[in-house]
Amino acid sequence: MSLKEYLAAQTKLVERALDRWAPAEDTPPQTIHRAMRYSLFAGGKRLRPILCMEAARSVSAAVEGVENVACVLEMIHTYSLIHDDLPALDNDDLRRGRPTCHKVFGEAMAILAGDALLTLAFEVLAKTDAIDDARRARLAAELASASGTAGGMIGGQVNDLEGEGKTPDPVLLESIHRAKTGALLRASLRMGAIYAGATPEQYDALSRFGEHIGLAFQIVDDVLDVERSSEELGKTAGKDAAQRKITFPAVYGLEASHRMAERERLRAQDALDGLGARAARLRELADLIVYRTA
């Protein structure tokens, strides 16, 4: 199967799981269910759930049902985008090529839709019969830590907001991005490992892979914000500079940022050495993250 066919099949698997767990649009209260689905099905790359599923497969062939766990990462990611786009935070009108959730449904509904997706993620982990209770607890703990304040996604958003306008500084930059995007990307790999019953060595290898591609992902994101147009990205380009965000290009320049992304890609792939041929798709996903153009 080509990478393109593989990605299409994986995306379908994730979206079927999301569709199964997200309340139907005709279930009351309809407005919020429409808002949740509007943002959930806006054509994202589904990178986090795909990484989660592939991490599981790199450990074990018996991972049917993993999409039920993987899809909660997309719920968390989507809630964070909805809240991040609000006027009080990044104030963005465009996301994945469409008006942001609050532009369509209003701010109140966007705040509640984000809350609801965050709640739904933990509801799915509590209720899916794809896992036993011991793994359920480990998965929920990992997801909560990666989404929270101390070294997690929310903490990264706080640092990002408070960093606006400050002098670009490598230490601050790393602390922002390790938390803001890195924590949830690493959790995607770890949750796949937990699902599949990984050994401690496999879990560590996948964690390290997640850390390096997390960093690579963010470097490339920062670079694309400079080099590409809003139309190409499906979101407002050039915002980082306008908001004086602390980014990799701002700290190191564009050329060095490209080199750093490439270095993280190689480190990520090195981390997979012990997993052998089963990790081939993860290697391809690392290439995809670094060589993407949007």
CB of 23 to a second copy, least distance (A): 6
Q: Which is nearer to a second copy, 145 or 230 (CB)?
A: 145
Q: Which is nearer to a second copy, 148 or 238 (CB)?
A: 148
SS3 95: strand
CB of 72 to a second copy, least distance (A): 11
**AA identity, residue 109:** M
Helix boundaries (H) for 27-105? 30-40, 47-59, 66-84, 101-105
CB of 155 to a second copy, least distance (A): 5
**AA identity, residue 236:** T
CB of 152 to a second copy, least distance (A): 8
For the chain, the residue count is 294
From the centroid of its chain, how far is CA 227? 22
Q: Which is nearer to a second copy, 153 or 289 (CB)?
A: 153
From the centroid of its chain, how far is CA 199? 24
CA dist 234 and 57 (Å) reads 31
Report whether 50 contacts 186 (CB < 8 A).
no
Q: Which is nearer to a second copy, 10 or 157 (CB)?
A: 157
SS3 76: helix
**AA identity, residue 57:** R
Point out which residues bind a second copy (CB under 8 A): 23, 27-29, 31-33, 36, 79, 83, 86, 88-89, 106-109, 111-112, 114-116, 118-120, 122-123, 125-127, 133-134, 136-137, 140-141, 144-145, 147-150, 152, 154-155, 157-159, 161-162
Q: What's the burial of 43, exposed, middle or buried (CB within 10 Å: 0-12/13-18/19+)?
A: exposed
Q: Which is nearer to a second copy, 93 or 227 (CB)?
A: 93
CB of 95 to a second copy, least distance (A): 17
Any idea which residue has 């968390």 for tokens?
76
CB of 206 to a second copy, least distance (A): 20
CA dist 148 and 286 (Å) reads 25
Q: Which is nearer to a second copy, 88 or 277 (CB)?
A: 88
